[in-house]
């Protein structure tokens, strides 16, 4: 059993689906990660397999997001700490304020905005993001 599925089972959550895609943290210019997004009934889990950005490493992402967020943004700092500790980005659905879909012929994306304003874009290339959005809303 992989690490994410084990976490989901340990937290008594139900896995809705998983997708291999790119994740772009919009508060960090140039960052881009390829990995697998798992969506449960309570959280989004992103396990990065490759840093596909020109710039970066996970450490620079953590430093930049932490510095840009300020002390009042405890939610994002906790999410980043979990990513650093577990190698997994975990976003509780309760912290998602907005879900935005953007589609063109060659690119389909979903952006989730957290209650503290931090945004994560999930890029699924040419494939439809409808099932991802449905899973996030469940």
CA 1 to chain CA mean position, Å: 21
Q: Give residue 71's pLDDT.
A: 41
pLDDT at 73: 43
- Burial-class residue 129 by CB neighbours within 10 Å (0-12, 13-18, 19+): buried
The pTM score is 0.77
CATH number of 3-137: 2.30.29.30
Element (H, E) at 62: helix 58-69
Query: Can you give the residue ranges of every domain in the chain?
Result: 3-137
SS3 29: coil
Q: What is the predicted pLDDT for the residue at 74?
A: 46
Residue percentage of the chain with pLDDT more than 90? 53
Residue 119 has phi, psi (to 5 degrees) of -125, 140
pLDDT at site 79: 61
Q: Between the CA of residue 88 and those of 45, 71, 99, 100, 108, what are the distances in Å?
A: 6, 22, 21, 23, 23
Tell me the per-residue pLDDT of 32-82, one tens digit each, with 9 for 90 and over.
888 999 999 999 999 887 666 555 545 544 544 444 444 434 445 666 666
Which pLDDT value is given to residue 85?
61
Average pLDDT value over all residues in the chain: 81
Give yes or no for residue 101 having a pLDDT over 90.
yes
Nearest to 51 by CA among 81, 98, 83: 83
- pLDDT computed for residue 1 by the predictor: 59
């Amino acid at each position: 059993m992989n690490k994410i599925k084990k976490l989901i089972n340990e937290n008594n959550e139900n896995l809705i689906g998983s997708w291999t895609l790119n994740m772009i943290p919009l508060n960090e210019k140039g960052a881009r990660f390829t990995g697998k997004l798992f969506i449960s009934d309570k959280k989004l889990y992103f396990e990065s397999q490759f840093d596909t950005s020109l710039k970066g490493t996970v450490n620079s992402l953590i430093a930049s997001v932490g510095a840009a967020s300020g002390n009042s943004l405890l939610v994002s700092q906790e999410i980043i700490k979990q990513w650093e500790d577990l190698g997994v980005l975990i976003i509780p659905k309760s912290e998602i304020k907005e879900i935005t879909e953007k589609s063109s012929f060659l690119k389909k994306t979903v952006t989730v905005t957290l209650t503290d304003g931090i945004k994560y874009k999930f890029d699924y290339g040419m494939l439809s993001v409808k099932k991802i959005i449905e899973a996030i809303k469940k």
